[in-house]
Amino acid sequence: LMRRFPDRGFDVGIAEQHAVTSAAGLAIGGLHPVVAVYATFLNRAFDQVLLDVAMHGLPVTFVLDRAGITGPDGPSHYGIWDLSLFGAVPGMRIAAPRDAATLRQELREAVAVSDGPTLLRFPTGSIPDALPAVRRLPGRDGRGGLDVLVSASRRDVLMIGVGPFARLAVDAAARLGEQGYGVSVVDPRWVLPIPAELVALASEYRVVVTVEDGICAGGFADALARALRDAGVSTPLKDFGVPMGWHPHGSRAEILDELGLTVRHVARSVTEWISGLDHPNQETRRADRASDAIAGRQGTA
């Protein structure tokens, strides 16, 4: 890109704070700068994003490569913090494209925003296979909108796939469908702040399941749970994501398997969870038996 447009690109080196503050200056001057950086390294410039860009409502777009678990790069390069960190920035809009087509589309939407910062996040590696939507539910504010990837006639489960995990959600929905559940899958596209139309849709289902490639604490599911609570929506929610901690080197597939972020694990866990919701007395009896067994061992000791 810089070879093609040498007068419109600046390499600041390993100086993320300078990149963000420079972008703020360009935005004040009437431009719409795009800051491209590894997802994990934008953490270093959180203060500049918050106070130099967002506080002034400046139109700066952040494009984060290597979002999520990157595998061989190791834990220092895992882009698992950005949803939690930058989702807390007032006025920040965050998109998580699921494939190349949505990346192009959402980047165009991002650079058209003139009243605040935007952020796009996507993983490293090969480009995910195209995953077309069956329809789009329009956004209530005229922006964004939800892409419906699977539409079921029965509204048992609403599964929400964030970014590249949209494919995992679709495949897990197929397995759950084989067990008789009606599962719809949506991609919220612009994931934070939580779209009002997503909250309204969630209220129409028995349960909601989310799958994201960032840390669970403070991530997409946490924000959705808060939005549901604030709207008085009591639909139960189960989330899948990266647990807090330092995760080892390995291939992306190996680490995701270890973390349970696979089609097989998600489908099985959702089945067991719904079974527990449908038969709560069984779960209570199992818990009581376990408590009695522990008490018995303690009494013997």
Q: Is residue 164 predicted with pLDDT exceeding 70?
A: yes
- Dump pLDDT digits (tens) for 114-152: 999 999 999 987 777 899 999 999 887 667 799 999 999
Task: For residue 193, say if its preceding peptide bond is cis, omega within 30 degrees of 0.
Answer: yes
Please classify residue 111 by burial: count the beta carbons closer than 10 Å to its beta carbon, then call 0-12 exposed, 13-18 middle and 19+ buried: middle
Look at 106 and 292; give whichever has higher pLDDT. Answer: 106
- Structural domain boundaries in the chain: 16-281
Distance between CA atoms of 262 and 171, rounded to whole angstroms?
Answer: 10
CATH match of 16-281 with 4.10.140.10: no
Q: Is the pLDDT of residue 301 over 50?
A: no
Rounded to whole angstroms, the Cα distance separating 26 from 17 reads: 14
Residue 300 has pLDDT above 60, yes or no: no
Q: Give pLDDT tens digits for 47-106.
A: 999 999 999 999 999 999 999 988 787 888 899 999 999 999 999 999 999 999 999 999
**Mean per-residue pLDDT, 14-25:** 96
Query: Where do the DSSP E strands lie in the chain?
Result: 34-38, 61-65, 93-95, 118-121, 135-137, 146-150, 157-161, 183-187, 190-192, 207-215, 237-242
How far apart, in whole angstroms, are the C-alpha atoms of residue 99 and residue 60? Answer: 22
